[in-house]
Amino acid sequence: MHPSSLRTKKTAGRFVADEPLWLRILLITAVYLIIGLLILVPMAYVFWQAMAEGWEGLVKNLWKDPDTLHSMWLTMTLAPLTVVLNTIFGLAAAWTITKFKFPGRTLLVTLLDVPFAISPVVVGLMLVLLFGMQGFLGPTLREWGIKVIFAWPGLLLATMFVTLPFVARELIPLMESLGDEEETAAVSLGANPWQLFWRITLPNIKWGLVYGMIQCHARAIGEFGAVYVVSGHIAGETDTMPLRVEKLFQEYNNPGSFAVASVLTLMALATLFGKYLLEQYIARQMATDAVE
């Protein structure tokens, strides 16, 4: 959801008042029931299972298992690194697409959506076919001593591919709506491109950028399919948190599995909370803009 779509929230309540009471009650109850059944109950169950052996059990399952510990470290380094790289890419892509007119521009915008459209498993497979030992580039890279598949670089590539569009997708409409008036003014006042970016462009897009980064981070933490294919499941080496959850579950280690799952869920909730705070902030900004 784009921050600007928050504007419509205020008027949305108006329609409800026109409906008969019984229909309102029915619909609201249905919504709570579905959300409860599909989201709240399973989430609560994750925490309940994780705490099945009490706090000590949870700590033991998380801290005393070196492979689990490693998977947490891996995810918590991979995700931020992905966010940083995709932020740089997203800024560059949004800048290119909104500032320059060139052939194939619309095609590029469409191509940006490819990672959202392709199944992550296929993404993983493509990477294996390209960088694997029997793959197109694999043997050459091997000679240079670079291992991509079943190694850390493959995990990074897979996560990056899947989360590539988030920042760019958020920035392109935003930068288009901002136009270039302020930037033209800055240039005529003597700003160089560097000053232009840091003093004018970035302050104008910062909240959209943070929003895109948050979404990118949330997706990077939870990525399973693409990473599953390229990781090779080497415990203590290429297992990320989602992979670790699955592996422990397959090994009938339910408390261990749910312990990692609860940490993952907590991280997701924290991201959501960050997103919520940001949305509140943007809505407030818009309210003050609207008063003017």
Partner 1 sequence: MSISICNISKQFGDFVALKDVSLEVPSGSLLALLGPSGSGKTTLLRIIAGLEQADSGHIKVQDEDVSQLSARDREVGFVFQHYALFKHMSVFENIAFGMRVRHLKDAEVRPRVNELLHLVRLEGLGNRYPSELSGGQRQRVALARALAVKPRLLLLDEPFGALDAKVRQELRTWLRNLHEEMHVTTVFVTHDQEEAFEVADRVVVMKQGHIEQAGTPQDVFDHPATPFVMDFLGHVNVFHGRLEAGQMHLPGFAMEYPEYQHATSRDATAYVRPHEVELDRTPQLETSLPVRVVHVNPAGPVTRVRLVSDAFGAAINVDLSPGRYRELALRPGDQVFATPKRLRVFLPDDYVI
User: CB neighbours of 239 closer than 8 A, spacing ≥ 6?
Assistant: 67, 70, 71, 74, 231, 233, 247
Candidate residues 24, 64, 142, 199; the one interacting with partner 1 per rule CB under 8 A: 199
Residue among 21 and 291 whose Cβ is closer to partner 1: 291
Q: How far is the CB of 188 from partner 1 (least distance, A)?
A: 4
Q: Is 174 in the site for partner 1 (CB under 8 A)?
A: no
Taking the C-alpha atoms of residue 71 and residue 77, their distance in angstroms, rounded to an integer, is: 10
Cβ neighbours of residue 154 closer than 8 Å, sequence gap 6 or more: 127, 131, 148, 230, 231, 238
Q: Does 8 bind partner 1 (CB under 8 A)?
A: no
By the rule CB under 8 A, 187 interacts with partner 1:
yes
Sign of the four-CA dihedral 222, 225, 230, 231: positive
**Binding of partner 1 at residue 181 (CB under 8 A)?**
yes
192 is a contact residue toward partner 1 (CB under 8 A)? yes
* CB nearer partner 1, residue 108 or residue 187: 187
Query: Interface with partner 1 by CB under 8 A: which range of 89-97, 162-170, 184-192, 235-243?
Result: 184-192
Taking CB under 8 A as the criterion, the residue among 67, 182, 237, 279 binding partner 1 is 182
How many residues at the interface with partner 1, by CB under 8 A?
19
CA angle 248/254/260 to nearest 5° reads: 60
Element (H, E) at 264: helix 254-291
The CB density around residue 216, as the number of other CB atoms within 10 Å, is: 29
Question: Which residues of this chain interact with partner 1, rule CB under 8 A?
Answer: 181-182, 184-192, 195, 199-200, 203-204, 288-289, 292
